[in-house]
């Protein structure tokens, strides 16, 4: 089986899995923010802040879903769209990775939260980025049309 055909089948699945992690996390934050506004049984709860990075994460996760559907229909522009969306979605994980590597909680204190980075999310992000980069190379650089 040719590598391009294999990657054409794998990239949409990986892209959807890579978009699920950050979008579910931000979705939970949005739900918690709404809950703190309505729950008053024990007094007012402190607000859950939604930062611009959270809204950007939702937008680019939705873009990654759309790019995955476009790749399933084998549109030529879909592979670079997946690559760009996945690279931008690293903004969701880089603060957690930096805190884990350095051992400090600098980003967690600045952002007022720490995002749990699971090995599955890291694997899906990395695999999606690498496979869409190879597919972009095969479609646009090696054999341009």
The per-residue DSSP string of 109-138 comes to: HHHTS-----HHHHHHHHHHHHHHHHHHII
Sign of the CA dihedral with 108 first, then 113, 118, and 123 last: negative
Rounded average pLDDT over 6-25: 89
What is the count of structural domains for the chain?
Answer: 1
**Is residue 8 within 8 Å of residue 74, measured between CB atoms?**
yes
pLDDT value at position 89?
86
Instruction: Indicate if the pLDDT at residue 19 is higher than 80.
Output: yes
Give CA–CA dist 39/78, Å, rounded. 43
Domain interval for residue 8: 3-142
Please, what is the angle between helix 78-102 and helix 119-136, to 10°? 140
Digit-coded pLDDT (tens) for 50-67? 888 888 888 999 999 999
pLDDT value at position 128?
92
Best CA proximity match to 126, nearest among 47, 5, 17, 48: 17
Digit-coded pLDDT (tens) for 114-135? 676 778 888 898 999 999 999 9
Give CA–CA dist 79/7, Å, rounded. 10
Token readout for 54 is 């959270």
Give CA–CA dist 128/40, Å, rounded. 43
């Amino acid at each position: 089986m040719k590598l391009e055909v294999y990657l054409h089948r794998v990239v949409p699945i990986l892209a959807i899995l890579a978009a699920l992690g950050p979008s579910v996390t931000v979705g939970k934050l949005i739900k918690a923010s709404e809950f703190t506004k309505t729950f008053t049984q024990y007094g007012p709860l402190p607000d859950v802040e939604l930062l611009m990075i959270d809204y950007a994460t939702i937008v680019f996760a939705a873009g990654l879903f759309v790019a995955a559907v476009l790749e399933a229909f084998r549109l030529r522009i879909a592979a670079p769209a997946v690559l760009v969306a996945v690279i931008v979605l690293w903004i969701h994980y880089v603060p957690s990775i930096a805190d884990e590597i350095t051992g400090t909680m600098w980003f967690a204190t600045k952002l007022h939260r720490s995002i749990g980075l699971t090995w599955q999310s890291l694997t899906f992000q990395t695999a999606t980025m690498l496979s869409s980069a190879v597919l972009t190379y095969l479609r646009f650089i090696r054999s341009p049309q």
